[in-house]
Structure 1
Amino acid sequence: MSSGLNEFWQPPAIAPLDQALAAAMRGRIDGKAKPSGSLGRIEDLAVQLGMIRHPEPPRGDKAVLLVFAADHGLTEEGVSQYPSAVTVAMVMTYLAGRASANAFAAASNVAIAVIDAGVAADLPAHPNLIAAKIRKGTANAAREPAMTPRQAADALARGFEITVDQIAAGADIIALGEMGIGNTASSALLAHRLAPAPLADCIGVGAGQDDKGMARKRAAIEKAAARSNATEPFDVLVQFGGLEIAMMAGAVLGAASQRRPVIIDGFISSAAALLAIRLYPAARDYCIFAHRSAEKGHDVLLAALHAKPLLDLGLRLGEGTGALLAVPLVRAAARLLTDVADLSDVLAGNI
């Protein structure tokens, strides 16, 4: 845990999973009416889910996607081909139910809540919008810290609280998504310092860049990295992080504190998960990694997280789309433990 963060906020304790339960969970699954190991990685996922919810049975009926939105001062340096106004436009598209995330959520029977973590505009009230704005976008990290320590801690705390509230309202599964023009640049800086990894290995095309755009993006990110040598997790967040990334990290911690699985989406969500885990390592046990993004840098994060994602579909949209596609797999793994008959009962005719 970061001593700097502790000056401003400290979440309730996060307990690591009891690894002594793993053998018992595996034994239960091996005793189901199927050949041992025949469901592959779904069995591994079922073990994790069983351990997370122990002593209660795992459940996956109610899932919610939390889409955290914010703007980035780094866009002033030309790190994206799109202006910050697109963040607002996409938030309104989510609220209208017309984005890719909405379509995938409908297909997967997942509720959506959109969180204004730091959009650089005033947003109208909406039933599906949670107003949690810390500030109107971060500062330009190529020139100054992205946010103050107080703002970073407040963003972590707010993401934590929002997630705890969703679980209190009945959520069995938390899925994470984001929207923020420029946030692949911020995530590249987080990956560089927290993995750690060479900066060049962490910078990708984001929402799409031509060669000139990539040159601008690399130059801006290199300028930001040269401005600060921060390596301690909370300091890295203050210097380079986005408000939506901070809130997603808080959401990871909130889910872990309530012993609920949290599905991590792609590159930006994984940067947030790495931040959360560097702050509180026990949170790793509660993370399920949805997919391998096509965005350069995601493999760096997955390696740092010791994560093997469930899907590999060439996605790089964000919004939580990959996390939504993984929800049915998580639900199926939970039902393997709760719904499938034991082989002994089948052979005895007790079904």
Structure 2
Amino acid sequence: MSKGKLLRLLPIALSALSFVIPVTAQVFLPPGATDTGLGGGNAISGMILVSNGQRLERHVYIRLQTMTKGDRVAASDDRGNFAFKGLPSGAYTVVIDKEKEFEPYRQTVDIRQFPGGPAQVYPLNIVLQLKGAEAKTGILNAALANVPPRALAFYEKALEQAKAGKNKDAIEQLNQAIVEYPGFMLAFNELGVQYLQLGEVEKANESLEAALKIAPEAFEPLMNHGIALVRLNRFAEAVPELRAAIKQKDESPVGHYYLGRALAYQQRYDEGEKELNLAVRLGGDEMKEAHRYLAAIHNVRGDKPRAIAELELYLKLAPNSKDAEHLRQLIKDLRASK
């Protein structure tokens, strides 16, 4: 799981029917990008938004229909990101039609890669329309209701920079947004996200604390602050933050993963194991890092067979991990000491 797997909201006006134009520059694909296995080098990548432009921060299943090779299914991550990779030239249809609270969505994407030409990434931001949206608009817009236009413009520009992988540029824009509107909780939250992406965890922690002073119970900064505290090894402080966030959105695999880590480091192994297993159940293979911590818990308990099984599962999901050889040797050592 990527360290960048954090939560934010995105207010940006986009059309669900906009023409999909490829980009040839390097574009960030989410760590959980779904490999279609179709043998091509192109990708469709984007995010899922609700009708006011905010990210839909939960798992949504997206179906990719092909003309002759059946359908492929991907799930968006906790930030609303999704991607299909491995696509050859051809016509594809992106479909979301199983979400009870949203109208069905369909968008055709025509991929054309000329012989000898570079592979391309086709950006596609999906805007879902709520059923009975008029009854819910006030709730969705609440976080942006009092944001001045200049601050909002800086914020939207920051999110564009962040999506392009330009974290430092995004930070500059977010600081401008905060100057324009010091009470901009979402900007402080996003600033924390960007610092976490860059590994500047102390600065991230400061930004997220500022966000929580403005909105103490807001899900996004609560979750991100908990993640920052885990990465600062402040596990006892992280646990109540993460529990408070999970209480609002219990289906978050990321929240359960970081809570499991924090509990494991506190030697609260039973609780940690429960949270890590729940992260795997909710997030599937994308939560592969959880298997490393489960292996450590089983090893501490002296349950070497289960520790080996978790390490083997992790290596199956991440065979090219930087420490793969070390983990393979660890498995051999555990087997030899049984």
Normalised by the shorter chain, which TM-score bucket?
under 0.3
The TM-score, its normalising length taken from structure 2, stands at 0.26
Structure whose residues are more often strand by fraction: 2
The TM-score, its normalising length taken from structure 1, stands at 0.26
Structure number with higher relative contact order (C-alpha < 8 Å, ≥ 6 residues apart): 1
Give the greater-gyration-radius structure (CA): 2
